[in-house]
Amino acid sequence: MKKTVFAVAALFFTFQLSFAQHRNNWKSMKPDERKQAIQKMNPEQRMGLLQQFREDMVISELEVPQDDQEEFKTLYAEYQEKQNSIKSKFKSENTYENMTDAQAKQQLNESFEIGQQLLDNRKIYADKFMKLITPQQVLRMYQTEGKMRNKILDRKQDGRGNPSSQSRRP
C-alpha cells in the first residue's frame, strides 16, 4: 500500500514539475518545439496539460480574484468532469444512411436527452459558480468554453482536410 501511494505521489510530482517547466517556457517556445514537447508526454500528461491551460485561460479571461482561484479551479474541474461524463454516454453513429427510421429516431431522442442533461448540469453549476464569481463572469465562462470548443473543432477539421466528415456531439 505504501509503495502504491509513494508511486502515485512520485508520478504526480514528476507531472507537476514537468508541467511547470513546460508552462514557464511555453510562450517562448516555437510551435514545432511545443509540438515536440507535447508528443513526448504520455496521454495523462497531455490531458493534465490541456486541463491546466483551460483552467488558466478561463481564470485569466474571467479575472477570478487570487483568493478564489483554487476553489474556482476545483469547482471548474468538477464541472468539466461531470460534463464529460454526460457526453461519454452518447455514442454517435456515423452511418446514418444505413439506419432505419426507428434507429434514427432513437439516436435523435438519445441526443436530445444527453443535450438536456448537459443543459441541466450547466444550470446546477452556474448556481455554484455564482457563489465565487458574478453572473456576468459565468456568462463569459460559458462563452469562453464555446470559443475553445470551436477552435478545437476547427483544428480537427483542418487536420483531416474534410470538414464535412466531422460529426459534432451535443
Could you read off the pLDDT tens digit of each residue along the chain, which spans 170 residues? 444 444 444 444 444 444 445 455 667 788 888 888 888 888 888 888 888 888 888 999 899 999 999 999 999 999 999 999 999 988 877 778 888 999 889 999 999 999 999 999 999 999 999 999 999 999 999 998 888 778 777 777 776 444 444 444 45
Task: Report the C-alpha dihedral over residues 34, 166, 76, 136, rounded to 10 degrees.
Answer: 110
pLDDT of residue 82: 96
The DSSP string of 81-100 is HHHHHHHTT----S-GGGS-
DSSP secondary structure of 25-46: HHTTS-HHHHHHHHHTS-HHHH
In the chain, domain spans: 68-165
